[in-house]
Structure 1
Amino acid sequence: MRDLLARDGVPEGYKIEVFDGTVIMTPRSPEQSQIAHLITDAARDAAPFPLAQGRVLGNVWLRFPGENDAAPDLFVLGHDAERRGDSYLCVDVLAIADVVSEPDGRKDYVRNVAKYARFGIDLYLIADPFKQLCTLMTEPHATGYAKVKEIPYGEPLTLTLSTGERIEVDTANFPVRD
């Protein structure tokens, strides 16, 4: 799969992932794109210190040693993150945000929660355009996250990174799906 990606074998607008041993290639929905852009804009506008260019990425490979790699919709890197080819190691990640692409959201709510917590991702945000709800998880442990907070669309959302940086996200403009 990496060879295919390296040869630009993925059509523009599509995302490829391995889920339960199956390669899944799906187009990114307008809602996924819009929400990822709104969160990215908020991160870059964070006050008093906007996140530096290149620390907020999306649909870029993250390496998870011993497991399938992932390409989250959005992630925030630490200050000293080191690029490795076209990817980063999960240990360099401060936060991940995913936008649910299917109504059941099993990939995001089950697999990703367990995986990201197991690898110590401090903050995991799921934006769900079907439920019109954001789920913010912190304090990772071996099987999940100790703290889970639900924020309905329209309410303010604050992402506090382990560095002390705070990202204020206005969810009022998050698009919804039926």
Structure 2
Amino acid sequence: MRRFTQGFYGYAVALFVCLAAAGLFLLIAPQSREQHIPRLDYSITVANFGHAVPYGVWAPSKDPAGWVPNSNKIAKGENGAQVLFLGYATAKREHAMFTQSNEQPAAGFASRMANSDKAVGTQQVGEVQWERRFREDKKQRSLVRMLPEVTLVITGTADWPELAELASVLQQRPKG
């Protein structure tokens, strides 16, 4: 018996016992094969943003099917303007982010959020026309809409139809 508790044999037996225990644990422990993306509710962030800005806030009326809201924040932009960020994992597991601000100049805000100042066309979403921007090196697509009170930007690695899907559910909430 002493031969199994000392020297090489003792080491080999201890290693075998540890590996067997780890293998048994991996066999019986529940495992998920699906990717888990944390879901973050943005309703309070949108409400707080609405109290901080002098215009009716734009927000999704509902989340597009299969999309997971996974980030949100309010930040200071240029000249002290408030900026709302709502991030999503799309149904195709790409990234899309909706931002809005009344930062001036509006073109500067749009260019900063889209990482591009060059329009590559337009996209019709319902009855609304959005400007398309594309940054090749980052594979970043953006839809930009500049309104008198606020600039809206939807950007990310999602394809044009997915970005348009997010644009289609945006609604302006009344100020108040």
**What's the TM-score, normalizing by structure 1?**
0.33
Hey, which of these two has a bigger chunk of helix by percent?
2
Which has the higher relative contact order, 1 or 2, with Cα contacts under 8 A spaced 6 or more apart?
2
